[in-house]
Structure 1
Amino acid sequence: MPRFSDVLVLTVFFLHACSSSSQLFYNDCAPTSYVCGGTSFTIGYPFLVDGRHDYCGHPKFYLSCSSSNDTNSLSVAISNKNFHVTSIDYGNRLLYLVDTDFAGQSCPQPFVNTTIDTNLFRVSDRCANLTLFINCTASSSPIPAIYDITCLSNTNGQHSYYRLDNGTMDDVLGRCSSTVVVPMAQDTATRMVNGELGFGKALREGFSVNWLPGMGWCSKCVSYEGRCGFNSSAPGDHTCFCFDGAFIDSCYSRTNLGTGKPSDRWKSILGICAGAASFITGCFFITLWYHSHKKEVMDAERVEAIIKKHGSLALRSYTYSDVKKITKSFREKLGQGGYGTVFKGKLFDGHLVAVKVLGESKGDGEDFINEVATIGQTSHVNVVTLRGFCVQGSKRALIYDFMPNGSLEKYIFLENTTATTTETTLSWEKLYEIATGIARGLEYLHRGCNARIVHFDIKPHNILLDQDLCPKISDFGMAKLCPRKGSIVSVEGMRGTIGYIAPEVFSRAFGTVSSKSDVYSYGMVLLEMFGGKRKKSSRLDSASDTYFPNWIYQHIDQSESLMAYGVTNESEEIVRKMMIVGFWCIQTMPEDRPSMSRVVDMLEGSIQELSIPPKPCLSSPFDLIVGSCATSSVYIE
């Protein structure tokens, strides 16, 4: 019987050897940036490109950088036909494609049906089928529900048509030389039918396909900081590469050790390491590891479950060591709050980021889970992009795109109106653009993304501005997912920031909590763009003992000029419009507030189309808490 110390020495030796070879695969298969035709693509499993190891992607998902019309573009071959790749969405497993036959043609004519290898792809549910009727003989009888393709008409009096379904029409087929079916994005098809988009441009916008339905194992692998890979000898042809070995599904599923080789040059090394490590450590190391890492395993399993249900494969998992390197050991601090501290950093590819290092987890770490689960599946110009996260032991960090202009807060709560900084020079027109961008971002969260999201903490501090002053909604720690076909959410207790919280979040006597709670918070932000930005005006100071929305309401329908509050004649209409919309948004009862889609329409429409809303029950947050606005007629949930 060998002594414990001898076994430990052997274990350390073999684990070191295995770890060294395993880390090679792990490092090789990290998502990489690949530039083609001036466009940068993130390449991860299951895709392969030149220069990427064959065990890091599936051989049937090879992307090539090819030349077409003197322009390089990323392309993929599907069913013996080439398509340009315009974008890759790993979170939703979507590949955005354009038929290469349509490139450079102002009026392309599809000659054959678009066919997709259903073993690898399927046309996504975001697409519609476009049926084309080519070279049809004119007829005096009208053809219902069909649209003319004027650019394909010829001098022989023949016309071509399209319609949005897969069906055929006998009265058309008998007069047409051919019919062709091609997929098209739903929104593109709608704009084409409405006359907002020409036929040729619509075809060149392309469509999207989902890849490989059986990718649940990869979500599990990534959630445990592994890297997905291909292994023809393993069950399911896949492998999860980890720092300490190659496993079937997960870096924490030690019983599912992969037996196949990912590459011939490492076959013997992996075989020896796997066998030796399994034999030597079988008696004590798994137990020792389990006890010493029990909390980390439980935390990782929790994050895995969330990412598998809601998250995104595009999110990269970083180690705490990576976070320290990205932030240069937390050298440059951008801000600090109850949630933790934000540091400026730079990813390994040079991309600037803001790294939010969370403080000690409270309870079960709900804020961290919420943020990964919600923002991890969003993609919108007015929502901040989450690049990755770190969960290692008690360490938690979130990595976002860096916003060089900080938060909206510093632009509307000015302390020095005589300063010459950028903040004091924002015009009302620019503030109006920012307000409209925030509204579009909230509309997307409420209606447009994969799962409807209620933010619950909309305030100027959580609106970040990029280099072009484009607003980005941030900080999803309090957010909640709601049903796809509804907007009512179940919440316990109160969440949000005093001054922006809707009445129903304080008390269900005011109604149910829903996306309309975000509408209320947005309305308060709109009003603060006037009340906060112009608070140094002497006339506004004289009313400082009045709750500022009350003061603003007195001016929305009066004929007096707002010049005394820093508003020019040219800007007065948009300022009054913002104030009117703001008061519609902060109506006391949720059902009286507009949706964010309606808010966008109101902001972009004419002020003459807006009516003055009823004066809401306007009180300070403290008055609202103690119930001064409550009446006997409110709905009780």
Structure 2
Amino acid sequence: MSLHLTKVTIPKTSALLAVGYNMAFASSFVCFILSLLLILVHAKERNDSICSKSFSCGNLTDLSFPFSLSTQPDCGIVPISGCDAKPFPRIQLLPGGEWYYARGKEYSYTLLLVDLKLQTVLRQHKCQAFNENISISDSPSISFTAVKLQNFYKCNRTSSNSPYINQTMKDHFDGYESYDGCDGFTIYYKFYGVDDEDILAGNHTANCSLIRLPYYPTEPGDDNLVNFLHPEFLVEWKLSDDCSKCHYGGGRCQTDKKNNFLCYKGTSKRGYLQTIWFKVATGASLFTVGLLALLLFCFRKKKLWYKYLRFWESNAEDHQKVEEFLKNYGSYAPNRYNYTDIKRITGRFRSKLGQGGFGNVYRGSLSNGSEVAVKVLNELKGSGEDFINEVASISRTSHVNIVSLVGFCFEGHKRALVYEFMPNGSLEKFIYEERSNGVRQLGWPILYKIALGIARGLEYLHRGCNTRILHFDIKPHNILLDEDFCPKVSDFGLAKMCMKQESVVSMLGPRGTIGYIAPEIVCRNLGGVSHKSDVYSYGMMVLEMVGGRTNC
């Protein structure tokens, strides 16, 4: 699988095409401004001046519609209260429904909730936990889906039950585990495999009922089913199309007495304000047209237009490549974060680990407490091939000596890669004689361990994967060390994937770092380029490790 982007070229004789492209862009931009201002004109009765675009409540950050503080019910449809309460704020998914602890916001459309009733019962380790059932209803404005709940089948048993009835029940749940640790009923469950479709459809015995509860495995050998239960569960939410149109059209999402969707808009007279907004919209549009005409005049040189046209076209192709990648990998694709998630993970880029030509690396933390390193790429650097190569390459690997990719961000021009955190950083700061203060010199046993680990990582890339991966940039800067100085190969921006049977690969141009590049990459007369080029780079790096100085 090769992921090389096609270079977009524009003939030098197509200056009119560039001008026409930008005039079309100018027209679209003016239409956008007019539409936005007209939406503001027709917004009625919803006081947007008191509704923040985003807000925080306790441990929840970057919240926006449909969420709102309980003190501002007009700003949303999912109220949150107790921002200063311990341990977590409380949230009510639907009006008049249950209140839950909001433990955290996993992703943009996912919440981690705690069931208060179930938490109280589980603290006492009582079988009454099986009297609870997590069932979340929807409304015409928003729908919720509880994720990763376990199906339990609670079947009553009494002394009056005949042996025939009991045997019939056991036969009905053939292949299921059973738990008899509670008085009066038996629990049937299946943690592995697919549940019986007839049972899920409700075709079970009259004495049984389906219960859905959060389940987390505990210590091996624990036969107390109650210990498997947990009050935390994930909920995904999705705004309905009607509510989305209503909200962004200036209305408020509501329901009538028959639980049908209702978009409420006020009826107060605002003709005077509409006139003012119309004048503002007209003036802004004329100003925008004049500004773009001035820019056309000032940047009439063709090369500037070609540069920006190439950037936008290649950026669109990058997005198409990413979507194809996610579709092909399915559930095996890494997590995809939006830029808001990246800011939350890094604490708004508070702790910088390093800086390079590609961008900056920041230290971050996921909601489960795991530390990560986030590489934020420069917005206008390159065509995006390096980014897509790195995501696709590392997603195919799973090895102790290959850095793990936790997820990535591809949103507009913003691109970031989220890796596991390596406390000791890169190898290069340990092996050169001009080490900075506080960096210790590694002994020969550790250097041998590092060299051996890197070799195992390369052997895995070349022979252990279903698709052979050629790194093409092996050097100390791209070798990361964990707390035990276990090496991990990183930075797959120049990598190339090929079938295992291929001994020689084709390349459009040289790639790698001077001092580590194999001779055949620069001069094709010396032979074909293959996985042996990585072996050459590895050898040059080992020489640096032994000699304590750079080859460059």
TM-score between both structures, scaled by the size of structure 1 = 0.43
Normalised TM-score (structure 2): 0.48
